Homo-oligomer: A and B are copies of this chain.
Amino acid sequence: MEYFTEANSVAAVDERMGPHVEPRLRTVMSSLVKHLHAFAKDVELRQEEWELAVDFLTRTGKISGDERQEFILLSDTLGLSMLVDAIGNRRPAGATENTVLGPFHVAGAPVRQMGDSINLDGKGESCLFNGRVVDIHGAPVEGAKIDVWSDSAEGYYSVQQPDIQDKWNNRGIFVTGADGAYEFVGIKPVSYPIPDDGPVGQMLAALGRHPNRPAHMHYIVTAPGFQKIVTHTFVGDDPWIASDAVFGVKTSLVAPFDPVKDGRTQWHSPFDFVLTPL
């Protein structure tokens, strides 16, 4: 019988699992313990650092609730959210890539007519968004549902300001016809900081990192027979485009935002969604 030692620590914990553990759980927990111990050994983690970590994680749990999920912020800012998203959504070249969902999606947005505006408060720089939903061969996808949401001109999502914004301000769902085309009016989104008055904000400050996200539109695009796309389009000349606090930017998701002079909108952002078959 061998007791736990620094040298055998991983095996000691691993062997403690019972014979009837669900196989996937066994795999995940074995790997977690292996990497957790490797981390502690690599840095020779000190008792006072461990105490700091316990306190940090406790505060991260305490501040989390229905309105705010600090562990998701922690995962986002350490790149874990994007990594899990990337692993789970590998797609062929040319297909629209995923990025993080974020905490501000609201299910059940109103279905609007093509060309309608989603901007209900009249604030912000107006922008025409249009393009097509196509398959990887370029054929139009009929009946694709585009669920879009963005922040307001002040950088807040409607759910962050329930007393100020209409619940569906800068939100809507559009369904494509036979040509796969979509078109709606919204605003050119603006950059904003993730909530940084909690433990994650303290961590970012200690790491010399800012909490800002570059301006982006959110989309969920679904159609029968195709993988669900959860993604953003980004404003390429945003000052934070190269340093998104949550690592959400991908080259293929940077969309044009071109000034227009036709009087209907100030900006035009064309983007095609390329769906991957199931």
- Which A residues form the contact surface with B (CB < 8 A)? 1, 3-6, 9-10, 12-13, 16-22, 25, 27-29, 31-47, 49-50, 54, 57-62, 64, 69, 71-72, 75, 78-88, 90, 206-209, 242-244, 247-251
Contacts and interface: CB of A to CB of B under 8 A. Distances in A.
A5 B83 CA distance: 8
5 contacts: A21-B208, A33-B78, A41-B83, A57-B61, A58-B64
Contact of A25 (B207, B250, B251): B207
Stoichiometry, as copies per complex, reads: 2
Nearest to A19: B208
B16 A209 contact: yes
B5 A86 contact: yes
A84 B50 contact: yes
A84 B206 contact: no
Contacts of A207: 16-18, 21, 25, 29
Contact of A43 (B21, B28, B38): B28
A78 B39 contact: no
A242 B3 CA distance: 7
Contacts of A88: 44, 46-47
A169 to B, nearest CB: 28
A249 B4 contact: yes
A152 B49 CA distance: 32
A79 B9 CA distance: 7
A83 B28 contact: no
Nearest to A86: B6
B36 A80 contact: yes
Contact of A37 (B46, B61, B83): B83
A12 B247 contact: yes
A46 B249 contact: no
A206 B25 contact: yes
A39 B31 contact: yes
Contacts of A9: 79, 82-83, 86, 247
A208 B243 contact: no
Contact of A39 (B16, B32, B81): B32
Nearest to A241: B1
A242 B42 CA distance: 28
